[in-house]
């Protein structure tokens, strides 16, 4: 049998698998009223109901590679979307897969042609991308990047309000600068937060920005804290309500959400400029700092961003972003199965102690699905080499890419 015939037979087998699965789904009535939902379609009554699900009544379908161990539990389930994503990943080269794990900081340094060599998963916009742009030129710029990418890009920015307003600070792009959540709540309560979030989201989406790196989940009540101007407040329950409101509102508009900065800055300093050790007890994190993040996870947040603080109570060796133990907290304590991303790996909290290649490889080994990267060219190559050398298991890369592709699908991207 030649290569063409073999590929043709494989495609026929996959079609048969899809057909059998869908017939089983219909037979067991798992689509409720019988209305088939598109992969990633959201409903107003069920914001988190984003995919067709085969429950445990239907045999679990796995596409297993040689030597790969399959883990199942009594409530394990495989969705049609999962199968399609696995199929997509099998067609991707290692370079393409690793590229999807990078959310890169452009800052006006490169154009769409760069995506041919580095097929990254996302681009985050800063001043260099936005200063001097008009509404039309920014829209066209973002569209040119999307057109150059084989897989649609996550296009992100930080539009928190207050001291961090990447887009609305420019009068050519917004009619006013968004105020801080703390001040908005003080003047109008949670309804004002909801309306402010709707306005931010509408503005970003109008330009093609599909991810807002918000909300900030950190707690702070001391005006001298680094994070204070960006934090909603110091009360865990009130901040949890704020986070729930923001995430729920953003999800309705189908824009990506990012909870930050896990596990919480507290009163610690700025990891943009320093290496920081957080000496609080584990109990303090669980009873205070985790609560807003848990609210965001329960509201259906897409992504959690991890800070560079060294959290001694969890891992006194690595910064949180590079710590496997911290990532186990996200997966096992918060029960979050979405995308986990580092803060910018060029920040001093990492770069002062690790070289670029080492930081990227350790970030993947720790469990990040995406790396926020300024020096992505070198770091992509380092991760690829670590996979080829056996330092990183390619199955871990595949799992990370699957989460990234699922996020893109949930945002309505055509990934297949």
How does pLDDT run across 191-218, given as a tens digit for each residue? 999 999 999 999 999 999 999 999 999 9
Quick one: pLDDT at residue 63?
36
* Tokens 């300024």 sit on residue: 374
Higher per-residue confidence, 45 vs 366:
366
Quick one: pLDDT at residue 349?
86
Quick one: pLDDT at residue 280?
95
Sorting pLDDT into bands at 50, 70 and 90, what band is 48? Answer: very low
Q: Which two tokens stand for residue 94?
A: 């290692």
Sign of the dihedral defined by the CA atoms of residues 76, 86, 262, 364, in that order: positive
Choice among 37-41, 228-232, 346-350 with the minimum mean pLDDT: 37-41
CATH of domain 96-410: 3.20.20.300
Residues 6+ away with beta carbon under 8 Å from 57: 28, 30
Higher per-residue confidence, 44 vs 87:
87
Sorting pLDDT into bands at 50, 70 and 90, what band is 351? Answer: confident
pLDDT at 2 over 60: no
What pTM, to 2 d.p., does this model score? 0.82
Cα 242–chain centre separation:
20
Sorting pLDDT into bands at 50, 70 and 90, what band is 73? Answer: very low
Residue 274's nearest CA partner among 352, 205, 210 is 352
pLDDT at 342 over 50: yes
Sorting pLDDT into bands at 50, 70 and 90, what band is 312? Answer: very high
Residue 130's nearest CA partner among 170, 165, 175 is 170
pLDDT digits (tens, 9 = 90+) for 244-300: 999 999 999 999 999 999 999 988 766 675 678 999 999 999 999 999 999 999 999
Looking at the chain, which residues constitute the CATH 3.20.20.300 domain(s)?
A: 96-410
């Amino acid at each position: 049998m030649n290569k063409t015939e073999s590929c043709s037979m494989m495609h026929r087998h996959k079609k048969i698998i899809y057909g059998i699965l869908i017939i089983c789904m219909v037979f067991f009535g798992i689509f409720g009223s019988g209305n088939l939902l598109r992969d990633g379609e959201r409903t107003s009554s069920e914001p988190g109901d984003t995919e067709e699900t085969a429950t445990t009544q239907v045999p679990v379908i796995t596409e297993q590679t040689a030597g790969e161990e399959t883990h199942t539990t009594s409530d394990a389930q495989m969705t049609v979307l999962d199968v399609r994503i696995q199929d997509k990943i099998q067609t991707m080269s290692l370079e393409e897969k690793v590229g999807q794990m990078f959310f890169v900081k452009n800052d006006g340094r490169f154009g769409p042609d760069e995506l041919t060599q580095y097929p990254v998963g996302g681009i985050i916009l800063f001043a260099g991308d936005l200063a001097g742009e008009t509404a039309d030129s920014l829209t066209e710029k973002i569209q040119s990047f999307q057109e150059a990418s084989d897989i649609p890009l996550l296009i992100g920015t930080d539009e928190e309000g207050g001291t961090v307003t990447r887009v609305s600070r420019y009068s050519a792009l917004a009619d006013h600068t968004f105020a801080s959540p703390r001040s908005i709540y003080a003047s109008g309560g949670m309804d004002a937060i909801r309306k402010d979030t709707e306005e931010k989201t509408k503005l970003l989406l109008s330009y093609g920005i599909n991810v807002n790196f918000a909300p900030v989940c950190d707690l702070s009540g001391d005006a001298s804290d680094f994070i204070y101007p960006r934090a909603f407040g110091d009360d865990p329950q009130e901040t949890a309500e704020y986070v729930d409101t923001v995430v729920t509102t953003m999800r309705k508009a189908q824009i990506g959400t990012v909870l930050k900065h896990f596990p919480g800055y507290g009163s610690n300093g700025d990891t943009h400029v320093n290496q920081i050790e957080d000496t609080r007890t584990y109990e303090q994190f669980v009873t205070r700092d985790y609560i807003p993040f848990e609210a965001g996870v329960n509201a259906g947040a897409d992504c959690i961003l991890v800070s560079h603080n060294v959290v001694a109570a969890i891992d006194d060796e690595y910064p949180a972003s590079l710590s496997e133990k911290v990532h186990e907290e996200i997966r096992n304590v918060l029960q979050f199965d979405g995308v986990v991303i580092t803060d910018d790996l060029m920040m001093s909290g990492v770069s002062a102690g690790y070289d670029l290649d080492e930081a990227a490889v350790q970030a993947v080994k720790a469990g990040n699905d995406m790396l926020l990267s300024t020096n992505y060219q070198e770091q992509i190559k380092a991760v690829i080499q670590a996979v080829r050398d056996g330092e990183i298991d390619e199955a871990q890369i595949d799992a990370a890419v699957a989460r990234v592709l699922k996020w893109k699908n949930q945002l309505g991207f055509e990934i297949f």
